[in-house]
Each structure stands twice: as structure tokens, then as C-alpha cells.
Amino acid sequence: MRSTPTPVSGSSARIEAWSGRQFAERVEDAMDIYARAMQYPQHAAAQRSVTARKHVSHEGFACRAAVLEQGALIGFGYGYTTLPGQWWHDLVRRALTPESAEDWLADAFELSELHVLPGFQGGGVGRRLLLELAGAIPHAAMLLSTPDADTRAFRLYHDLGFLDLRRHYLFPGDSRPFAVLGARLPLGTGG
């Protein structure tokens, strides 16, 4: 496990646009944040790193990183154009009604991951990452899945205009139910 930066105000983090190469260079740091934020065992970070490295070559890949002044990564978000043949896309297509799948999966960006170190959560870092990422992509919609529970992340997504497309969905390999959410772009500012 990597050392954890001392929590400070999330507003002190700068949001950077990262290329696929830049993300791949810091993927272990990012997936450490993923495992801690999702409360997965640490070995899940190494497993997810392999998949995340492959994602950088997907069409429409885009990434934003929250970095402290000294360079410590405290949060990140990335995704790509969702297309048939991709694991998440194909599962979600089957989970939605045919009409909903047709409507939402065309010209959509799949937010694959958005995570903030637990000590920095609640300070606006996740919101800033999401808004900057969503503001930079040319898609008509953004889709994601998140644990189906009353979490900060779930509340943030709804606050920014995401709608429930499917609730209580079980993805292979995770026993927790997930919600599949979608929002038309540009994202709203919430209330």
C-alpha cells in the first residue's frame, strides 16, 4: 500500500487533464485509491491496474486527476466511448430495456472510474473531477455504475442530474448491488 497524503482541503488540489500515457504511468497510484475508496482488498488494485492499462487505448479515452502541490494523487476519473464488445457496455445493454439501451448507449461516454481518497472525500474533489471530465467530452450522454447505496458518490451523481437507468444490478465478480445511472450532457449544476 502506498503512503497516504495528509488530508487537507480538497480545494487545494488542482485538476489536471491526463493523456493515456500519463494515466498509465500513475495507474498503480490510481488503483490504490480505487481499492481504498471502494473498500476492496488491496490485491484488487493490482488486478484492476491490468484492466485500466488496457482502457487507455479505447476510443474517446479521457482522464482527469486531482493532484496536490507536491504531486500526490488524491483522486481521478476516467472513461471512454462505450461501444458494443466492451464488457460493461454489453452487460448494461442486457440489463436495460431494449428501448432504454438504444436511447442511452448511442453516443455515450462510460465513466469507468471516479474515486477520491477517503480522507479527501466530501470536500468537492469528486464533483470537480466529474464536471471537468464531463465538460471536455463530445458525447451526448455519460453513463456509469456505482454501488446501489446512499453514499456521497450516489448523492453527487443525482445532484448533477444523473437518472436511475437500472437499480440493484449484480455485476459478475461483485456481490454488492449496483445502480446504472445516465445523464445527458452537459451536466447540470445541481441544487
Check the CA dihedral 139-62-158-160 and report its sign: negative
Residues 20, 190, 13: CA angle, nearest 5 degrees: 45
The three cell numbers locating residue 82: 462505450
Place of cell 479521457: 62
Catalytic one among 34, 40, 157, 169? 157
DSSP-derived 3-state class of residue 83: coil
Annotation says 157 is catalytic: yes
Residue type for position 142: M
DSSP assignment of 109-146, as one string?
A: EEEEEEEE-GGGTTSSHHHHHHHHHHTT---SEEEEEE
CB 30 within 8 A of CB 23: yes
Crossing angle (nearest 10°) for helices 98-105 and 87-95: 140
| Cα–Cα dist 189/126, whole Å | 14
Catalytic residue list = 157
